[in-house]
Amino acid sequence: MKRTPIMPTPLSTTKQSTESSSALNEQILCRAYELYQQRGGEDGHDLDDWLQAQSEMTQPNVKAVAA
């Protein structure tokens, strides 16, 4: 039986309504779970997945230019 990763509550630096904060947390949770699945369900990286997903969801979209 696979364990479901426990995600930490993100710190908020701006005032957000409860509704928008909840929606953002749900998006982060879904993305973190996608990262977990992409790694083959390997346990022990839940915080890394959460922080990466949080970064992806809160940073402006930056497109890298291929060299």
Asked if residue 10 lies in contact with residue 54, where contact means CB atoms within 8 angstroms, the answer is yes
CA–CA separation, 39 vs 42, rounded Å? 6
Per-residue pLDDT of the chain (67 residues; tens, 9 = 90+): 566 666 666 665 555 577 788 899 999 999 999 999 999 999 999 999 999 999 999 887 655 566 5
Q: Where are the domains of the chain?
A: 18-58
Quote the pLDDT of residue 18: 75
Distances in whole angstroms, Cα of residue 6 to Cα of each of 9, 20, 36, 50 = 10, 21, 12, 9
